[in-house]
């Protein structure tokens, strides 16, 4: 089964429109430098915001910006009453400590769940939970493999899954020579490395659930971590790139915005 992420995201956004009543909500997205993947992700988020009736403003800064100044800009957005949610698009330049910048985000505006004590689920985790529930995928007694230890995908998903399933493993690209040993035994594989075609069909068993957060460009085309052509033949369920888990993840981000601004 090939997942239609855009269609599913449309369902989520449709429900959000009913909940997003005046006053109109708005997100402020902080972009430092011109990373190609970051620009692509922000474009997708901007389109989803427009469909959702949500304001979306990008605050762009030069890649050489001082960390202290960037932190001050975040604090300004915390105080801005016209901004209801804040995104800091990762990665940040090497001279900027991401922990310090992300910790500066007010949890009440942290739609990405990257501050120290977030009040909502990470959108990546929300998207995985949505897929599990939508397609009735049992995961508590399965062999689960997470590829990548990043703060956006690997970390939040692993922390949640390990509470439910002690058979979940997490590895990273440095262990790629040992990938087949892990991938061939896994019932569910979630990858967020960003290396196109990293996992081939010959490396997985038939009937595996494949969730692909990877993003790479090869020969001018966007591709994910799974070699789609070979993996789709063997997978029970696969999220393509583009148009798979990405749109669902973005929809979950806006769902977080509505939740954080819900009047009690």
Per residue in 8-25, pLDDT (tens digit) is 999 999 888 776 555 689
The length of the chain in residues reads: 264
Strand residue runs (E) in the chain: 26-32, 55-61, 85-88, 144-147, 168-171, 188-191, 209-212, 216-218, 221-223, 237-238
The H or E element spanning position 172 is none
For a pLDDT cut of 90, what percent of the chain falls above it? Answer: 76
Q: Catalogue all structural domains in the chain, each as residue range(s) with its CATH number.
A: 13-112 (3.40.50.10860), 123-246 (3.40.50.720)
Number of Cα atoms under 13 Å in the Cβ half of residue 24: 10
- Tell me the C-alpha distance between 251 and 243, whole Å: 12
Interstrand relation of 221-223 and 216-218 (parallel, antiparallel or unpaired): antiparallel
Measured in whole angstroms, the distance separating CA 255 from the mean position of its chain's CA atoms is: 13
Torsion of the alpha carbons at 162, 212, 84 and 73, rounded to the nearest 10: 90
Span 112-129, mean pLDDT?
95
Kindly state the tokens that stand for 260.
């954080």
The predicted pLDDT at position 36 comes to 73
Helix (H, G, I), strand (E, B) or coil at 165: coil
Span 91-107, mean pLDDT?
94
pTM: 0.91
Is the predicted pLDDT of residue 264 greater than 60, yes or no?
no
Burial classification of residue 79, based on how many CB atoms lie within 10 Å of its CB (0-12 exposed, 13-18 middle, 19 or more buried): exposed
Q: What is the pLDDT of residues 128-168, one digit of tens each?
A: 999 999 999 999 999 999 999 999 999 999 999 999 898 99
Q: What is the pLDDT of residues 189-235, one digit of tens each?
A: 999 999 999 999 999 999 999 999 999 988 888 999 999 999 999 99
Kindly state the tokens that stand for 196.
């196109």
Q: Looking at per-residue confidence, does 103 or 23 come out higher? A: 103
Answer for the pair 167, 143: CB distance below 8 angstroms, yes or no.
yes
* Residue 177 DSSP code: G
The predicted pLDDT at position 262 comes to 84
The predicted pLDDT at position 79 comes to 97
Lowest mean pLDDT among 84-88, 91-95, 130-134: 91-95
């Amino acid at each position: 089964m090939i997942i239609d992420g855009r269609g599913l995201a449309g369902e989520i956004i449709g429900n959000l429109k009913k909940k997003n009543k005046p006053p109109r909500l708005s997100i402020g997205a902080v972009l430092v430098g011109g990373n190609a993947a970051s620009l692509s992700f922000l474009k997708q988020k901007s389109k989803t915001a427009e469909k959702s009736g949500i304001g979306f403003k990008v605050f762009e800064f030069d890649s050489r910006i001082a960390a202290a100044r960037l932190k001050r800009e975040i604090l300004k957005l915390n105080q801005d009453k016209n901004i209801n949610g804040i995104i800091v698009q990762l990665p940040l330049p090497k001279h900027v400590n991401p922990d310090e910048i992300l910790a500066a985000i007010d949890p009440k505006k942290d739609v990405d769940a990257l501050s120290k004590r977030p009040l909502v689920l990470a959108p990546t985790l929300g998207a995985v939970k949505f897929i599990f529930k939508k397609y009735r995928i049992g995961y508590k007694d399965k062999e689960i493999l997470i590829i990548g230890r990043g703060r956006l995908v690997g970390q939040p998903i692993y922390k949640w899954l390990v509470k439910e399933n002690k058979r979940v493993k997490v590895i990273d690209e440095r262990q790629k020579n040992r990938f087949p040993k892990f991938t061939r035994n896994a019932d569910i594989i979630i990858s967020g490395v960003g290396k196109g075609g990293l996992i081939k069909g010959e490396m997985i068993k038939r009937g595996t659930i494949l969730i692909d957060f990877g993003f790479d460009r090869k020969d001018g085309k966007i591709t994910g971590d799974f070699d789609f052509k070979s993996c789709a033949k063997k997978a029970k369920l696969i999220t393509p790139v583009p148009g798979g888990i990405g749109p669902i993840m973005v929809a979950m981000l806006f769902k977080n915005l509505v939740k954080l601004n819900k009047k009690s």
